[in-house]
A and B are shown apart, each in its own frame.
Chain A
Amino acid sequence: MWKTVLRRVVIMIPQLFVLSLLVFILAKFMPGDPFTGLITPETDPARIEELRERAGLNDPWYMQYARWVGNLVQGDLGTSYRFKQPVEDIIGEKGLNTLWLSLLSVILLYLIAIPLGMLAGRYNNSKLDKAIVLYSFISYAIPTFVLALLFLFLFGYTLHWFPTIGSVDVSAVPGSFDWYWSKIYHLILPAITFAILGTTGVIQYLRSEIIDAKSLDYVRTARSKGIPMKKVYSKHIFRNSLLPIAAFLGFTITGLLGGSIFIETIFGYPGMGQLFITSILSRDYSVITALVMLYGFLTLLGSLLSDIIMSIVDPRIRIE
């Protein structure tokens, strides 16, 4: 198995190479450059030109690309034009914020969706099932920004139950208990919003898997043994129905770092989604390219991780 994992990792190298080329060229195709925002009627064009020259932006694209890739393989992602800080420091800080938010969101999502999916599947066509299906379609139909704004207005602005902006109370001393509590407190509302919006897929998947499984032959075999229906569900139906959910787990785990642009922007939560969108708006090339490369790498890693997870939970799948 480890041989296969190694081979998959090696195959990633050319994939990442192609991705890097695409990312770099597309980023360069965007109109404007990091200094466009500095231009005012009083700006001396020669000064801008000088800045461009100094940043190497006047070199041919392949030279810029070679320089970038060269630094990349040495672990140097460059310096943000906007923050004047190393890119890895910025991503490290925002990434950690996003990681906590996503982790809580995904845990909440599964805590809500798996029991609901199981209930809807087991008692399908009952009133309970219809209510769950109705809920899942409503949560699917609501646009992210509508629900996020609604929650923000209701629980943050009107009821003052939760903070409306940021990832931590600025007055808290880093490392203290209050600081950690403040961090968690800031996570709750965006995490709940994210979880509610994401439940539909898991509920519907699980529900239909369970309904299908009920009439499968091996379930009939189990019933013909005379074991109680409760056991038929727990030992035969649910385990098999959770397989497709497990198949997505790899992507879910690596997707934790991706963040949600809408949620983070609306809740003013300084995470990766927000970083990505503001970097694009300010043409912060070094951050954009680093982020896209990171997302690409995470996607490849997610698919590998999913395969490894599947080979653990499903005996029919073995990585040879």
Chain B
Amino acid sequence: MKTTDELLRIKNLHTGFRIKDTYFDAVDNVSLTLRKNEILAIVGESGCGKSTLATSIIGLLDRNNTRIEGEILYKDTNLANMTEDELNNIRGLDISMIFQDPLSALNPLMRIGDQIEESLVYHTELSKNERKERVIELLQQVGISNPKRVAKQFPHQLSGGMRQRVIIAIAISCKPQIIIADEPTTALDVTIQAQILDLLIDLQNETGAGIILITHDLGVVAEVADRVAVMYAGEIIEEAPVDELFNNPKHPYTRSLFNSIPQLSQDSTRLNVIEGIVPSLMNLPRSGCRFSSRISWIPEEAHEDNPTLHEVSPGHFVRCTCWKHFHFKSELGGNQHVHAD
């Protein structure tokens, strides 16, 4: 991997929310890189911090109630230290975002064309007529068959899939280097999901942008991602190229996630679930293996005191050592005896 391909480097990022005058890190010491022409998927269950990570990058969190520490390096500048005005020059132009719920992500009182045009007004030198043409071109690009009419319509007149296309058109309007897609297909039905994912891949092939895809849908990950980072309780617990992760998952959490996908081939009528619940932000264990409470049958000695990421094969990182001794609860008689590492 050439380092020149690197678009974004996140180093030791902490994003904390203020609850009763104390900051609690929802994103805890996360480091990631995004390269050109790459789709990096970030997966994890609700509340694991993946959306917070995404919104931290582009600085959309409420500054009065959040604290961002660490580095988000883009073109050698740290986005985490930027003022709102400086960020406005990056947002929409270099880094743009696609949101989860297309039904609420568009202003209900504004025509589609005007909403797409808005970012062109601030980031380009185009004249009014050129902007109008660009809007039509963008709508065409995202696969809307009647762009002239749609540009004059209001959001409520479009279907969910169409609205998500419009949001993608807004995101790509200034040809950004980085697109952050926060669960772009979660709110859509399955056939539309596939179309939207195809569209994202097509657009990426054209522009060479790097995409950070936030999702909890492993099917989507398998379909489009190049690399995957799995998050749990604010930390990245496993990171690997997509094939490696799917063929050779290591961390107990990753394995449990795969195990919980219902299989048609199995006769079992019960779903495999992960025991326990995700600890809330205020109750996160800040030391030791954060997943240990949900695999209580694995002896304590299996975990590291301060779990770090270990490279188990090139590009494949796993946090903690508990994976070496992990077995599902149903498969008793595995490694009963743990040898201290």
Contact A228 B96 (CB under 8 A): no
A239 on the B face (CB < 8 A): yes
Known contacts A226-B87, A226-B90; is-contact A218 B154 (Cβ 8 Å): no
Interface residue? A160 (CB, 8 A): no
Contacts of A216 in B (CB 8 A): 104
Q: How far is the CB of B304 from chain A (nearest CB, A)?
A: 38
Contact check, A227 vs B107: say whether CB atoms are below 8 A apart: no
Task: Say yes or no: B119 contacts A236, CB within 8 Å.
Answer: no
Contacts of A215 in B (CB 8 A): 62
Which of A218, A225, A226 meets B108, CB within 8 Å?
A: A218
B49 to chain A: closest CB distance in Å? 18
Task: Find residues 300-314 in chain A having any chain B CB closer than 8 Å to their own CB.
Answer: 313-314
Task: Name the one of B96, B99, B171 contacting A217, with C-beta atoms under 8 angstroms.
Answer: B99
B84 contact set on A, CB distance < 8 A = 229
Least Cβ distance of A227 to chain B in Å?
A: 5
In the bound complex, do residue A226 and residue B88 qualify as a contact, i.e. CB atoms below 8 Å apart?
yes
Q: Please determine whether A226 and B104 come into contact, CB atoms closer than 8 angstroms.
A: no
* Contact, CB under 8 Å: B101 / A217: yes
Distance in angstroms between the alpha carbons of A228 and B60 in the assembled complex: 13
Closest to A219 in B: B107
Q: How far is the CA of A216 from the CA of B106 in the complex (A)?
A: 10
Nearest-CB residue, chain B, relative to A218 = B107
| Cβ-closest chain B residue relative to A236 | B107
Please pick, from B107, B123, B167, the residue contacting A240 in the complex, using a CB distance under 8 A.
B107
Contact status A222-B104, CB under 8 Å: no
B245 interface contact, C-beta 8 A: no
Task: Please determine whether B91 and A226 come into contact, CB atoms closer than 8 angstroms.
Answer: yes
In Å, the complex CA distance between A243 and B115 comes to 19
Contact of B109 (CB < 8 Å), options: A223, A224, A227, A240: A240
Can you list, as one digit per residue, whether each of B88-123 has a CB less than 8 Å from chain A (1) or not (0)?
Answer: 111111001101010011111110000100110111
Q: Chain A residues near B58: list those with CB within 8 A.
A: 224
Beyond the given A221-B106, A313-B109, please list 11 additional residue pairs across the A-B interface where CB-CB is below 8 A: A215-B62, A217-B104, A218-B108, A221-B107, A222-B118, A223-B60, A224-B60, A225-B122, A226-B88, A235-B118, A314-B109
Which residues of A come within 8 Å of B, CB atoms?
215-218, 220-229, 235-236, 239-240, 243, 313-316
